[in-house]
Structure 1
């Protein structure tokens, strides 16, 4: 029986190790479009897309973050998982919800996404330029006046000072065809209400009204829409 030389054995071991390393590297999910937004209060949300296909975000990744002023204090995201849209899991989108005691507009956070000990993405996030406010909540649509209606809502910010930095957009949608009847930008308002003429809408028709908001100074990212309120004109 012919035996292999030590050199040939070494060569085969090197090839085998290389193939295993390449296979392991191919198993590591790759990501793109890492980003974060914050509600200018107590929550930051980071998200990314997995370019290598289906992923179990909670087990495939970990996200660590640190305030750039205190980088020696590295924290890990505890609420990491796949994104859900209308109760359906999105296979290639990950989202991480981070609770922060007190977000300050001048803060910057360094976030880093790892998989199997390897850094797959990192980014420094400026709090002020990544504000996505909390969505408002509609309280009521008052139709008691025969000529005008009044929409009232709240900001969902306990800190009234933060609420002074918000501007709004209101939108009326026809229930019959789903088309926007009209929408209107609104500057800072106190109290939070909008009076509209009933003549702008078709009498007897049903409409949905909703409100969203953004930070007046950054003017970058809209909040999600408030839940819609349905009424008959």
Structure 2
């Protein structure tokens, strides 16, 4: 077979890998940082507990002005719960910052305490994965086993045929793709290319020797047998680096412990010749398997200059991850302090607070207040948005109930189109109590009722006075009814003087006697 036919075959080869691209570690994806745009920066991220036990990573910050600085990190006290099923550790990091401003970018990266790398020298023509041949046969020559086949265009006679086919693989690999196969005419075979720290399974099937004139299918596979290999190199190192050339790309794959990939990412670096500059292969794809502690990562290196002398040097090692976080787009101010509510002379209530100060006075803030009746948070919670930057804020009578104790809390954020901010934490709770005042709505209703009530009381009082006056007057003695006066008038000898004028005098006298007098008259 000449070189042209070899290249035709190579150009039709292909390797199938998962299409899931590696986009970053869990730690970097979880990293979030905010600042008060005044003096300090706060970052939070998470790390897998098992990865933390195997590999220690540290967060660094660089703002492009100073040198790269390590950020002090402690476990997040808000997430430091007793032992739970959560597999992650949550960290919070705080650092004082001297400079803030538009154009000052903070770059964050993780560094680890171990060197993770593996290397391999690759000869393209010693790592060819051809298409599956037709009429597969195995030939044995001087103890070395070789696989023979015929090309798809025709058929050829095969050499010495073997009676046994042995296949073995790790328990999570597929028989069709990843199994290692050995053909032998004996009952013993050497199992090669075993990975340390893995569990393997093997099976055997038999066939009559076709080379001796026999033909027939294989028997059924035997029952699987399994075993484990001891751990070899440090378990966090990448392993099983393999590269196969298909005529277009040199595709390399390797295995990494799954939990390690939550903290760091690996890249494939290569040199086409010893004198070439090192390049990075991209993108890296990853394939996971359930219940398996390793993942398979791979990357295809495009080969532009094909030569029988081509020797690639490939290396797998960890990459430095970076994330650009613009400080002015991630502002989180400190919550308001000294928040209090006091009554005013106008029977309203004044909310005052001390706001967080910035390096720049032109940056304004807005606020949000939540308040509720004491011990009635879920039933009476109300939220107010306050746009004015400076206190005070007035609670009107319509917003509150009289004779009621209230509790509240307050938070702030930047109020500017040029800056991006998130709400601060809530301030400490504050409380106040409203006075007992009459609602203005009740006054128009109660005034007519009060007037009518007063009129009714006045009417009854007047009638009672008249009655008491009459009773008092009836108790005053009447002189005209006195026995003494009547006896006196009867004894007077009027004689012939009784005339009409005298009668008139008697009548007038009696009439006068009927009027009240201060003389005390005693009847006998």
Partner in structure 2 of residue 153 of structure 1: 353
1:61 matched to 2:57:
yes
Q: CA deviation at 1:82?
A: 0.4
Partner in structure 1 of residue 95 of structure 2: 98
* Pair 1:195–1:66, CA change in 2 (3 A): same
- CA RMSD, aligned part only? 3.0
Q: CA deviation at 1:88?
A: 5.5
Question: Equivalents in 1 of 2:358, 2:37: separation in Å?
Answer: 12
Alignment of structure 1 residues 31-180 onto 2, 5 Å: 31=27, 32-52=29-49, 60-67=56-63, 69-70=64-65, 73-77=67-71, 79-85=72-78, 92-117=89-114, 120=264, 122-145=322-345, 147-157=347-357, 159=359, 161=361, 164-179=363-378
Question: Equivalents in 1 of 2:394, 2:59: separation in Å?
Answer: 46
Task: Provide, for residues 205-226 of structure 1, a one-character-per-residue CA deviation record: whole Å limited to 9, x for no partner.
Answer: 3221222111112454111111
Question: Equivalents in 1 of 2:432, 2:407: separation in Å?
Answer: 6
Partner in structure 2 of residue 228 of structure 1: 429
1:206 matched to 2:405:
yes
1:183 matched to 2:383:
yes
* Pair 1:173–1:88, CA change in 2 (3 A): farther
* Pair 1:116–1:160, CA change in 2 (3 A): closer
SS of residue paired to 2:101: coil
Question: Equivalents in 1 of 2:373, 2:410: separation in Å?
Answer: 15
Task: Provide, for residues 161-202 of structure 1, a one-character-per-residue CA deviation record: whole Å limited to 9, x for no partner.
Answer: 05x421111221232222353212121333x11100244223
* Pair 1:81–1:155, CA change in 2 (3 A): same
> TM-score, normalization: structure 1?
0.72
Question: Equivalents in 1 of 2:368, 2:430: separation in Å?
Answer: 15
> TM-score, normalization: structure 2?
0.34
Question: Equivalents in 2 of 1:30, 1:214: separation in Å?
Answer: 29
SS of residue paired to 1:225: coil
Q: CA deviation at 1:158?
A: 6.4
Moved more, 88-97 or 129-138: 88-97
Aligned 8 A contact 1:181 1:201 in 2: no
Aligned 8 A contact 2:336 2:410 in 1: yes
Question: Equivalents in 2 of 1:126, 1:165: separation in Å?
Answer: 19
SS of residue paired to 1:84: coil
List alignment gaps of at least 5 residues for structure 1.
1-28
* Pair 1:87–1:200, CA change in 2 (3 A): farther
Question: Equivalents in 2 of 1:174, 1:102: separation in Å?
Answer: 43
SS of residue paired to 1:161: coil
Bigger Rg, which one = 2
* Pair 1:65–1:154, CA change in 2 (3 A): same
Aligned 8 A contact 1:35 1:123 in 2: no
Aligned 8 A contact 1:34 1:122 in 2: no
More strand by share: 1
Q: CA deviation at 1:100?
A: 0.7
Question: Equivalents in 1 of 2:106, 2:377: separation in Å?
Answer: 41
Task: Provide, for residues 93-148 of structure 1, a one-character-per-residue CA deviation record: whole Å limited to 9, x for no partner.
Answer: 10100101232233111111233347745311101110111111134211244631
Aligned 8 A contact 2:333 2:414 in 1: yes
Q: Name the structure, 1 or 2, with higher relative contact order (CA <8 Å, separation 6+).
A: 1
